[in-house]
Amino acid sequence: MAVLNKIRQRSLFLILIIALALFSFVLSGLFQNSGALSAKAQNVVATINGKEISREDFLRKVEFAQRQMGPSVTSTQAMNRVWEQEVRQAVMESQYEKLGFSVERDQMRDLLKTNLASSPEFQNEAGMFDENKLNEYIANIKATSAEAYQQWIDYENSIAATGMQQEYINMVKAGVTGTLAEGKIEHDLEGNKVDIKYVQVPFTSIPDSTITVSKSEISSYIESHKKQFEVEASRDINFVEFREVASLEDEKEISAGLSAMLNNSVVYNDITKANDTVLGFANVTDNEAYVNTHSDIKYNDAYVFKSGLSKPLADNLFDKEVGAVYGPYKENGYFKLSKLVAETMMPDSVKSRHILIPFVGSRAATAETVQNKVEAKKTADSAMAIIKANPSKFVDLLDLSADKVSNEKEGVLDWYTYNAMVPEFRDYTFQNNTGDIAVVETDFGFHIIEILDQKSKEKAVKVATIARQIEPSEATIDKVFRDASKFEIAVGDQDFQEVAKTNNYTVRPVKGIEILQENIPGLSNQRQIVKWTFEEETQVGDVKRFNIPGGYVLVQLSAKNKAGLMSVENASAIVVPEIRKEKKAELLKSRITATTLDALASAEKQTIRTASAINMKNPTISGAGREPIIVGAAFGLNEGETSKLLVGNNGVYMVQVTKVTPAVELDSYQAFANRVGQQKANAVNSRLYQALREASDIEDNRAQTVQ
């Protein structure tokens, strides 16, 4: 009771304690909710005009896109492709919703029919689109594979989006036209012409070195051209490469190894306890086996004309006797040792005809093929015997042939070059004579071949080549690792640039790397480096080593650039030439007092030039280039009138109009109005989506949700 009395006496105090506890709970909820908000951000890849794109759905589509695009495509490339598709769909859907656009069931079926009409799996026996087969297909994948069914839904959505987009574009096109007034303007822009005399004082007449541009001037220029210099958040880096490249000593060792193969050598045999003579490359007879045992490139058992040889072989081996050897020589990343092993006279092209008899297991076999290899050979031999006895029977026997394409030309294969056929077919038709007939086996089956004609016989050779790839030795690879490690340690407490300079290493800067970028100039695909530069714990000045194909790279983060306006340093390359041009124009205008072309040309050591039939449609001046301001000023002058000094793209000008030719008056400007309308319609195709996208509210969270 005493305790209860005390509680009652201090009820206000108790209420305050409870209130504080509840307040603490609310506060903790808010902090926890920030995590919930963060989790939401992690689960939403983007918000486009209020529509959220979920991370799960987005990554599923990226995975599917990467499978479709093949193994050569990176995940970032697939992601960017899906991103563009999703943004386009969301931007366009926001327009469809405002207009009440939708694709109804009947329209969807029509769209599917249009897109799938040529797919055999949805055709009936007559080759026509069969909706029942489509329904069966959809029902089957829905019952058997949730993933396949979802992909089908995505496909339907894609087709629907394409259909609505085309309908939307057509609607916009219907609203654009060219008026007669616009047609007249178009005609006048082309038809009104002036002839001029002019003097150009080029900006190059003032050396760049005499014009100074301050940082404050660059900054002011950026401020006055903000839209041009708006950039996303980015990073700048410096890097030094350590490539595992063969040294001169490595190359000498590879070359010496090939030289040692050339002649016979004596090797002690542990089994016979005697010395054996091992034939060298110059003396072996089985060149194919020797090359395939000792070379990094397999033996090529084909004849080659002189024009098909590399220059070293054409110059040093082609005209030698069979058995001659050339090398070692360096070519395309290899040291090579080559031997002339055969020569022949061979046509540069052949015309032949054939009958192809397939057998079960051959490449030309079909479901109707029933003969085994022995039976097919017997059929081919029998057919050849008939043809040899009576060549006119060749065409009659084409029913046996599996080559339906050549069958339409009586089996003829018209004028093909040496490497156009499989080796066995090639060798027979190029190494035998016109009129010869034989049965030749290839992977496709047995061919009954008749050589019909041959053109331009000339010398061809067969060359055996031992090739050894020029690769760094283990010693060189170890040295590269040590050099990279030493540099990494040194820059831990010393200046990156100074250490590189001391060791004669080239420092390569890269500016403006964005968060979703994949390729780094000079290093190719290095997503790992990009991710490191954007990690919160990575600070300006930090250095990290990365493994790259064939070596290492030491990367220094040199700057973190916030989203907004480009920095003065990064904008300098763009801005400085423009400011220089402005300053040169002011200098030229201030020093020139001439008021006539002759006086200006004399004072500035320039010539008076002429340009005829200038029009506003294409504001180009012969001898000066594209100068819209100067051309526009010329059209504001009367015939015989001379302009004041004018500032153009490439210099300061003075212009005199010598002739004005007005455009011919037309009874109707409808043709030009139609042209203007067509130009507008074409612009809808190329500019409509981009304009809608620029006007959309797009929140891109890919950097937080996609690694």
C-alpha to C-alpha distance for 411 and 357, rounded to whole angstroms: 12
- pLDDT for 120 equals 81
- pLDDT for 71 equals 82
Query: How is residue 572 annotated by DSSP?
Result: H
- pLDDT for 42 equals 67
* Joined tokens for residue 461: 């050779």
C-alpha to C-alpha distance for 129 and 126, rounded to whole angstroms: 9
Higher local confidence (pLDDT), 414 or 269: 414
- pLDDT for 142 equals 86
Q: pLDDT class for 41, splitting at 50, 70, 90? A: low
Average pLDDT over residues 498-517: 93
Q: Do domains 193-230+570-661 and 349-455 have the same CATH topology?
A: yes
Average pLDDT over residues 182-189: 94
508-514: strand order across its sheet: 508-514, 234-243, 551-561, 543-548
Residues 6+ apart with CB under 8 A from 634: 194, 196, 614, 643, 655, 657
User: Does residue 384 surpass a pLDDT of 90?
Assistant: yes
Q: Alpha carbon of 558 to those of 341, 484, 497, 539, 611: distances in Å? A: 59, 19, 11, 9, 51
Residues 6+ apart with CB under 8 A from 561: 231, 233, 234, 235, 236, 512, 567, 570
Q: Of the CATH numbers 3.40.50, 2.40.50, 3.10.50, 1.10.20, which one belongs to the domain with range 193-230+570-661?
A: 3.10.50
CB atoms within 10 A of CB 372: 12
User: Which single residue is written with the structure tokens 């329209």?
Assistant: 107
Higher local confidence (pLDDT), 83 or 4: 83
C-alpha to C-alpha distance for 654 and 637, rounded to whole angstroms: 12
User: Does residue 24 surpass a pLDDT of 50?
Assistant: no
Q: pLDDT class for 12, splitting at 50, 70, 90? A: very low
Three-class DSSP category at 550: coil
- pLDDT for 147 equals 84
* Joined tokens for residue 71: 């193994």
For 151-160, 189-198, 313-322, 347-356, which range has the lowest pLDDT when averaged over its residues? 151-160
Q: pLDDT class for 516, splitting at 50, 70, 90? A: confident
User: Does residue 16 surpass a pLDDT of 60?
Assistant: no
- pLDDT for 104 equals 73
Which residues on neighbouring strands pair with residue 388, listed in sequence order?
Answer: none
448-459 per-position pLDDT tens digit: 999 999 998 899
Per-residue b/e over 50-81, b at no fewer than 16 CB within 10 Å?
eebbebeebbbbbebbbeeeeeeeebbbbbbb
Average pLDDT over residues 202-221: 95
592-649 per-position pLDDT tens digit: 999 999 999 999 999 999 999 999 999 999 999 999 999 999 999 999 999 999 999 9
Percent helix, percent strand, percent coil in the chain, to nearest 5: 50, 25, 30
- pLDDT for 33 equals 39
User: Which single residue is written with the structure tokens 């050979």?
Assistant: 377
For 10-14, 218-222, 482-486, 509-513, which range has the lowest pLDDT when averaged over its residues? 10-14
557-590 per-position pLDDT tens digit: 999 998 899 889 889 999 999 999 999 999 999 9
User: Does residue 2 surpass a pLDDT of 60?
Assistant: no
Report the share of the chain in percent with pLDDT over 70: 93
User: Does residue 30 surpass a pLDDT of 50?
Assistant: no
Q: Domain residue spans in the chain?
A: 2-44, 46-159, 193-230+570-661, 234-245+473-562, 249-345, 349-455
User: Does residue 3 surpass a pLDDT of 80?
Assistant: no
Round the CA-based radius of gyration of the chain to a whole number and report it: 39
Three-class DSSP category at 362: coil
* Joined tokens for residue 549: 């194909």
649-702 per-position pLDDT tens digit: 999 999 999 999 999 999 999 999 999 999 999 998 889 989 999 899 988 888
Q: With helix as H, strand as E and coil as C, how does 605-618 read? A: CCCCEEEEEECCCC
From 125, 463, 416, select the one nearest 301 (Cα to Cα): 463
User: Does residue 270 surpass a pLDDT of 80?
Assistant: no
Intra-chain end-to-end CA distance of the chain, in Å: 65
* Joined tokens for residue 617: 């449609």
C-alpha to C-alpha distance for 553 and 505, rounded to whole angstroms: 12
228-248 per-position pLDDT tens digit: 998 889 999 999 999 999 999
- pLDDT for 31 equals 36
Please, are residues 416 and 350 in contact by the beta-carbon 8 Å criterion?
yes
Average pLDDT over residues 392-419: 89
From 66, 138, 64, 91, select the one nearest 695 (Cα to Cα): 91
Count of helices and strands (H, E) across the chain? 23, 27
- pLDDT for 19 equals 42
For 205-209, 268-272, 467-471, 678-682, which range has the lowest pLDDT when averaged over its residues? 268-272
- Rounded to 10 degrees, the C-alpha dihedral 409/415/421/426 comes to 110
Which residues on neighbouring strands pair with residue 459, listed in sequence order?
Answer: 345
- How would you class 390 by CB atoms within 10 Å of its CB: exposed for 0-12, middle for 13-18, buried for 19 or more? exposed
409-420 per-position pLDDT tens digit: 889 998 998 888
Torsions phi, psi for 614 (to 5 deg):
-75, 140
Q: Is the peptide bond before 328 cis (omega within 30 degrees of 0)?
A: yes
- pLDDT for 157 equals 80
User: Does residue 25 surpass a pLDDT of 60?
Assistant: no
From 477, 475, 491, 500, select the one nearest 551 (Cα to Cα): 477
pTM: 0.63
CB atoms within 10 A of CB 434: 14
User: Does residue 64 surpass a pLDDT of 50?
Assistant: yes
Three-class DSSP category at 511: strand
Mean pLDDT of the chain: 87
Please give the single-letter amino acid code of residue 189. Answer: L
What is the CATH number that goes with domain 349-455?
Answer: 3.10.50.40
Average pLDDT over residues 502-508: 95
- pLDDT for 18 equals 39
Calculate ∠ Cα 297-301-305, nearest 5°.
105
- pLDDT for 272 equals 74
- pLDDT for 371 equals 92
User: Does residue 707 surpass a pLDDT of 70?
Assistant: no
Residue 410 gets the label, from left (phi > 0), alpha (psi -120 to 50) or beta, of left
277-312 per-position pLDDT tens digit: 778 899 999 999 999 999 999 999 889 999 889 999
Q: Alpha carbon of 185 to those of 188, 665, 675, 677: distances in Å? A: 5, 12, 12, 13
User: Does residue 704 surpass a pLDDT of 90?
Assistant: no
Residues 6+ apart with CB under 8 A from 201: 588, 592, 600, 604, 606, 651, 652, 653
User: For the chain, what's the residue count?
Assistant: 707
Residues 6+ apart with CB under 8 A from 470: 246, 250, 251, 254, 330, 333, 334, 335
Three-class DSSP category at 120: helix
Report the share of the chain in percent with pLDDT over 90: 56
Three-class DSSP category at 350: strand
